[in-house]
Every structure is written in C-alpha cells, then in structure tokens.
Amino acid sequence: MNQVKCECGHVNPPGTILCESCGKILVESEEKKKVLDMRYEGTARRSQTYNRTLVDKIWNFFSSVKVAVTIIVVTLIASAIGTFLPQKSTLPLSVSVKEYYESEYGFAGRLFYALGFHNLYGSWWYMLLIALIGVSLVICSLDRVVPLYKALKKQRVTRHAGFLKRQRLFSSGGDIKELDAHYELLMERLRKRHYKVLEENGNLMAEKGRFSRWGPYVNHLGLIIFLIGVMLRFVPGMYVDESLTIKEGETKAIPGTNKQYYLKNHAFIVETYDPEKDKAFEKTLKERGPIVKNYQTNVTLYKAESPAVAGEQPKLEKVKDYQIRVNQPLKFDHYSVYQSGFLLNEISAMTFALADKKTGKEFGTFRVDLERPQKKYDLQEGYSVEILSYFPDFVMGEDGEPTSKSQKPNNPAFVFKMVTPDKPDGEISFVAIQQNLEPDGNNQYQIKFKSVETVNYSGLTVRKDHTLWILAVGGLIFMIGVIQGSYWNHRRIWIQRVNSEVWISAHTNKNWFSLQKEIARILEGIRLPVPQDQLKDGNKRNLEGVLDGTVEQ
C-alpha cells in the first residue's frame, strides 16, 4: 500500500479515508455515503493497514475492539461461574479439597474442581485473561489515539466540498453578501461562545472542546495504572493480607513480617452498652437485648532483635503497648493489625477433687492446665492422682479405644489413677465432660469435677498495602477521563464559500441537537441558513436536493 497524495497537496499515510488536511474523500466507497463516518477523523488506523510481520499480526489482534469485547465477555462468564460453588479459600482447613467438592456437589463439584474453578480468582488462566484485557486496552488506545491526535492537529480551515456536504449538520445556499456583511460579528459571536476561530481566504473554522476527545484515552490510562497497581500486589513486600488467631497470654510471630515482629495478647475484651449508663438506648436495649459496644484486644508489640528461623524464639524488644479496636488498628512499619474476630470461653484448665464415693469426703483438689498437664498431682498426705492418658479432643475410636480427634482441648478426657492410703496400688477412673467410668465399677474413690477456667482468642487481620496510592491515582485519572469525555463536547463549525454561495457544516461527538441550537443562536439576525440534521427523516427531501445541488434554502 502506498501513501496517498491529496489534491490539496497533503500526503496521507496509507489507508487514510479522509484527507487529514482538507477532508477530501480518498476512498471511493465513502463517496456514496450521505454522511461521513467521522470516527477517528477518517484516519488510517495503522493496525488495519500494516500486516506484514509477526509483530504486526499480534498488534492487530489486540487492537481489535471485537477481540477486546470477546476477552471481556469470557472473563465475565468465568467470573460468574466461579461464584456457583464456594471457592477453595472459604473451605474449612481440615477437609481434603478434592473430596469436599465431590462429596458435597457430586459430578458438578468434580467438574468444578477438575476445571480449576475452585481457585478461580488466583488461577493462572484467570490472571492471564485479566492481563490480556490490560494488553488489549493499551494497544487499542495507542492504535487510535495517535492517528486521531495527528489528524486533529493537521486539519486545515478550508475543507473539500465533498467533506462539508457529508457532515451530519449541513446547509448550503447562503448569500455571500450576507456573510461579508456580518463576518466580524460572526467571529465575535463564535469567540464569545469559547470557540477558537481560524480564518483562511474568508472561510471560517470554529472549534472548541477538542480535549473532550482525549477523555476515553485518559480513562484507559487510569485503568492501566490501576491494573499496574494490582500487578504490584504480587511483588514481594508490596502487599500483605494475613490472619492471626492469638490466645490471651500468648506471644506469636505476626504473619507476613518474616518473624520480625511479635505480638502478645494480654486480653480480649467485649463490652456491651449498659442500660444504666447509656440512658438514651435504654428502651432499645430492653427490647433487643445486649448490644456490643466495643471489641478490643490489648496487645504489646515486640521486635525481634535478630532474624530467626521457623520454630526459633528470638530475643524480643518491646516496641509499644496498644489497644486494638475495630477500625483502630495497631500501626507499625507500614503494617496495620485490625481486630477482626474472636473466640470466647475456650476451656483452658479444669479443677478436680478426689473424693470418697460413699461419704463424699474430699481429699484435696488439683488444677489441670490443658496445655501442660502434669504427670502427677500430690494432694494431702498419702493421697495423689496420676494422669495415665489425656485426650484433649476425646472421641471413642472405632476399635472401642478412647482417642483424640485433634490436639485442641475441645472435649478433654482423662484416665486418672487415684492413689490413696487404702488403695496404695491405685484405682483407675476415666473422666470426660459429664462422664465418669470405672473399669470394674467398684471403685472406692472418684474424681469430682469442680470448676473450669476459660480463655479467649482474638482474631486479627494483618495488612500492608503499598499499592493503595497507585490504585487511587489510577482511579482518579479514570474519573478525570470520564468527566472530560462526558461534560465537554468537541464541536466544529465550518463556514465556507463554495460555488459563490455559503455552506455551513458542523460536527460534534455528541449532543447534535444542542450544537444545532447553538449555531441557530450564533446566526440570529443573520440571513444564513441554519445547518439541518441530515440523518433526520424530515430532512430527507432536503438532503436529496442538496446532493444533486438543486435545492436552495
């Protein structure tokens, strides 16, 4: 393909439809149209014209809006399917993922798992789809904005007659004398309406709001910046989103900090509104019952003095005390630790008494810490209790043997050996919550449950996000683009002497009627025909007349 030289002398790139300079139609098929397709000003979108190397072919593929829409629709459908069944990340930790989907949802679940929808939003192909949208966005924009910019920059005042009469708003047959008489007034009125007016041989071109044409591209730029921000989340150190469950009294490494920071939970507190103190809520509180006022974890933040490997407890240096409340996170070194959950009243210790079954007489009590039970508890002289077995999460096994489901003290059970002066060899007793079994059923002594101690767990979320400001900038630019394209219109008016009469054409990217009204106001009191909308049915007759040059208005 070769460059096209227009009769006005301008040399256009290959594939140009309308001369960049004067607007003459360069492609024959366009001449049959009543109204020109003014998208991208009839410039050669490069992708459509160069198609030689592999690079061009890839470029062309991504520059197509059809391809872009296809990618977006595919992403949309995939995203929707991902919501049909729960995602892997929402499943309880103790189950096998594959079996879960199979047993819960049968064949559909199996398919869901096999196709990778169980981890859709983190899967490589979903990421790839999003990335392709980004690529398409960049290339589509570049492929259009560059030629459009050049064409708008190169446009000449005097346009080819064929260009003028194929504008959507068009009128002909104006009196040249009338134009001459009001030439200055016309210019002044145009300028008053913020048009930039250019003259050439007594012809006028008025233009305003060109910058509105860049709106969509500014908008895309914002989107691309946004996507870059999302991409940066995968760069180590940029983004942390972890959770930490920590028991009262416990000190734990804060996840996501590479064991640099440790947190000690002193206490977890839930406060409710007090109907006595908060009189204003008295009535509601009576109707609704207690309402929580505050969730709070009192913590101390520590910093490790030296790096430590897994399992190693480094020397800790206190940084600060803090009270974490909802929306009042603990902040340090770009990290924020938020209050996000809790577990109340988990059993931590139990107190028992050794007693005579018949008389009920007690021979001392002992306290069993469920995390660190002792082997033996000495009571008063001659009396002691040994723990033979401990099942923190007791269940009866299939083989009839007591066993533990996990190491968490959810349902503690013990096998005790009670040593007393009467029974120096000891008696065996199996004790679980509200259960007391004896192997032979004729024990003289028993273990009596006295009391239980509980502990609270605090659920915290650890966040660090260095990408937030990039997302904000991207979002802001996106909005600027939207506003730019929405609240300004690109308007151009050509007032030109053709065949000893005055032709007026106008073009805008939106709100044609408003442009027509604006021109009518500019022409007020001047006897020049107001351009008519050539795409309106009522103007058909008019239009045909214009095309063969017979109608005068």
Partner 1 sequence: MTLTKKKRFVIRSVILALLALAVAYTLYANLKGDRDLVREGDPAPDFVLKDLNGNSYRLSDYRGKGVFLNFWGTYCKPCKKEMPYIDRAYRKYKDRGVEVIAVNVGETDMTIQNFVDKYGLSFPVVVDREGEVQDAYDIFSLPATFLIDADGKIVKYYEGELTEDLVEQFMERVKP
| Site membership for partner 1, residue 252 (CB under 8 A) | yes
| Site membership for partner 1, residue 346 (CB under 8 A) | no
User: What is the closest distance, in whole angstroms, from the C-beta atom of residue 38 to partner 1 in the complex?
Assistant: 25
| Site membership for partner 1, residue 375 (CB under 8 A) | yes
Binding mask 288-317 for partner 1 (x = CB under 8 A): --------------------xxxxx-----
Question: What single string gives the DSSP state of each residue in 407-456?
Answer: SS-SB-EEEEEEE-SS-TT-EEEEEETTEEE-SSS--SEEEEEEEEEEEE
Distance CA 255, CA 243 (A): 7
Chain residues 31-50 in contact with partner 1, contact rule CB under 8 A: 46, 50
Q: Beta strands 427-432 and 413-419: pairing type?
A: antiparallel
User: What is the closest distance, in whole angstroms, from the C-beta atom of residue 234 to partner 1 in the complex?
Assistant: 4
Cβ-proximal residues to 475 (8 Å cutoff; 6+ apart), any chain: 222, 226
Which one of residues 106, 122, 341, 382 is an interface residue with partner 1 (CB under 8 A)? 122
Handedness of CA 206, 212, 213, 218 (dihedral sign): positive
Question: Between 124-154 and 65-82, two packed helices, what is the crossing angle to 10 degrees?
Answer: 150
| Site membership for partner 1, residue 58 (CB under 8 A) | yes
Nearest residue (CB) to partner 1, 1 versus 76? 1
User: What is the closest distance, in whole angstroms, from the C-beta atom of residue 76 to partner 1 in the complex?
Assistant: 20
User: What is the closest distance, in whole angstroms, from the C-beta atom of residue 321 to partner 1 in the complex?
Assistant: 22
Nearest residue (CB) to partner 1, 365 versus 403? 403
| Site membership for partner 1, residue 149 (CB under 8 A) | no
User: What is the closest distance, in whole angstroms, from the C-beta atom of residue 309 to partner 1 in the complex?
Assistant: 4
| Site membership for partner 1, residue 403 (CB under 8 A) | yes
Cβ-proximal residues to 233 (8 Å cutoff; 6+ apart), any chain: 239, 465, 467
Distance CA 51, CA 469 (A): 40
Encode burial over 413-430: b for 16+ CB neighbours within 10 A, e otherwise. Answer: bbbbbbbbeeeeebbebb
Comparing C-alpha atoms, which of 268, 278, 273 is closest to residue 290? 273
Nearest residue (CB) to partner 1, 162 versus 255? 255
Nearest residue (CB) to partner 1, 9 versus 236? 236
Query: Nearest 5°: CA angle at 60, between 54 and 65?
Result: 155
| Site membership for partner 1, residue 343 (CB under 8 A) | no
| Site membership for partner 1, residue 389 (CB under 8 A) | yes
Largest CA-CA distance found in the chain, in angstroms, rounded: 134
Mark the segment that binds partner 1 (CB under 8 A) among 22-30, 190-198, 403-411, 543-551.
403-411
Chain residues 207-246 in contact with partner 1, contact rule CB under 8 A: 228, 231, 234-236
**Partners of 145 in beta bridges:** none
User: What is the closest distance, in whole angstroms, from the C-beta atom of residue 56 to partner 1 in the complex?
Assistant: 7
User: What is the closest distance, in whole angstroms, from the C-beta atom of residue 259 to partner 1 in the complex?
Assistant: 8
Which one of residues 405, 417, 448, 466 is an interface residue with partner 1 (CB under 8 A)? 405
**Partners of 350 in beta bridges:** 368, 452
